[in-house]
Chain A
Amino acid sequence: MSAIRRIAVLAIALALAGCATNNPRDPLEPFNRAMFQFNDKLDQVALKPTAEAYSKLPSFVRTGVGNFFGNLGDVPTAVNNLLQGKLADGLSDVMRVAVNTTFGFGGLLDIGTEAGLYKHNEDFGQTLGKWGVRSGPYVVLPLFGSSTLRDTLVMPVDIEADPWHYARPIRWRNTGSVVRVVDQRAALLDASNLLEEAALDRYVFVRDAYLQRRQSKVYDGEPPETSTYEFDVGPTLTEAGGDAASTSSVAAAKSGEPESKRVVEVEQNARHHAQPDTKENIK
């Protein structure tokens, strides 16, 4: 390795160390946050309104679209399941495609689920993860959103494996791809509204939830290192002399009163404040 190469590698390492943030899993945080903002704006301006309009279509239309693309997605899922050595799941997916394509009118109906062949969701990134390739740092991609380094690098593989990629003419394929994205976004409308409520800092919340979820998907719900708690205080024993939080939860077990009082109090205070604060932007 030439001296220049060595220097370059060292420089990059230093630069990465320089943007070291609180989270060792997110060395690219400044870049990721910028992408997150960009995607958010794009979502606010274009994708979400389209998805909201789309969700006004009759449900059988949306279900049909979802099933059609879901059926196409079962093909790479089947392949990946087999690559991971999960024969039963892989064969089940093959059956799904067969049944849904023939009896389901080209995938519009999802007969497989009703027949007990449940839908799986596998991609090449998960396959690599199963084989032992670690996910690498968190990466937020423009348009595509949350990902990891490993999954980003294998995206071309997933694209090639997607049957819709080979649809012709190109016009139809591209239109279909947009419809697929809108349909997926519409399915997530309720969840994203919930996210607005639950998160204090959406970027951090999405990142941490995504990384856990990704790890869980690689291991199909049984990740080897389940979250451990540092500084565990142990169960709260609601004995006499406990603080109001625990005594009120005991009282709530009896009457449900104090808890609802507390939330109602917050609501009443909010109503008092709601009047003068109507101009305040709720973000």
Chain B
Amino acid sequence: MNVLKKLFAIAGIALGMLAFVPHASAQEAPDTLVKRISLEVLETAKTDKDIQGGNQKRVLELVESKVLPHVDFQRMTALAAGRFWREATPEQQKQLTNEFRTLLVYTYSGAISQIRDQKLDFKPMRAEPSDTEVEVRTQVLQPRGGDPIQLNYRLEKTPNGWKIYDMNVLGAWLVETYKGNFAAEINKGGIDGLIKTLTDKNKRLAASIAKAPKAS
């Protein structure tokens, strides 16, 4: 009897573990994730009449629902702030992250609203299966036949799936490019000065979207 119970217990545990294994590998691979989101966003931007007509709000909604959940804004902000991050209080860090996220959402949405008939090209990812940080490379091919636009992402592995924490457009990494801006603002007015600059900028961007829904 005892032996049977033990066998059942072991079987139960084994089955339980089996249940976990597919769950763990069900986490989407980073290049698949990027490909899926990019194509979804591109498709929606091309086919949605509102977006093609210049409705910025629709673009914001699209970005927020499809893209935001897959970005680690806190790390992005911390990396851009560099050594000043540690000097900030948790409250300041939270505000800074929020404002930076808003700015990036506006900027990214502005880029999306300019999509006409570009195509995406996905390059093979070079990473080991055990890597927890990878780089995914894509290219935006232009209809006008100009140079393709390089668009790369750096992703980190988290328990909630792979998240983007840096982006490269035309060879320039987002974090690296904002570092200078952040440092300059912090040197001028401290971290609060930076937060204020970001907040003001976001207000202006919001106002220009509210006033003129058509993209200029």
Contacts and interface: CB of A to CB of B under 8 A. Distances in A.
Interface in A171-210: 187, 190, 193-194, 197-201, 204-205, 207-210
Most buried by A among B101, B147, B180, B182: B180
Contacts of B160: 238, 250, 253
Contacts of A234: 75
Interface stretch (A3-11, A82-90, A155-163, A262-270): A262-270
A67 interface: yes
A249 interface: yes
Nearest to B75: A236
Contacts of A271: 206-207, 210
Chain B, interface SS category = helix
Interface stretch (B9-17, B26-34, B83-91): B83-91
Interface stretch (A34-42, A127-135, A240-248): A240-248
Contact of A227 (B71, B83, B175, B187): B175
A169 interface: no
A256 interface: yes
A260 B61 CA distance: 7
B86 to A, nearest CB: 7
Contact of B94 (A231, A244, A252): A244
Contact of A267 (B97, B201, B206): B206
A258 to B, nearest CB: 10
Given A22-B183, A118-B148, A270-B210, A237 B64 contact: no
B175 to A, nearest CB: 7
Nearest to A206: B177
Contact of B181 (A63, A121, A200): A200
A273 B64 CA distance: 24
Contacts, number: 190
Interface residues of B, number: 75
6 contacts: A205-B177, A209-B170, A210-B172, A221-B150, A231-B78, A235-B158
Interface of B: 60-61, 64-65, 68-69, 71-75, 78-79, 82-83, 85-86, 90, 93-94, 97-98, 101-103, 105-107, 110-111, 114, 144-148, 150, 156-160, 163, 165-166, 170-173, 175-185, 187, 197-198, 201-211, 216
Interface of A: 22-23, 63, 66-67, 70, 110, 113, 118-121, 187, 190, 193-194, 197-201, 204-205, 207-210, 212-217, 221, 223, 226-227, 229-238, 243-246, 249-250, 252-253, 256, 259-260, 262-263, 266-267, 269-271, 273-274, 277, 282
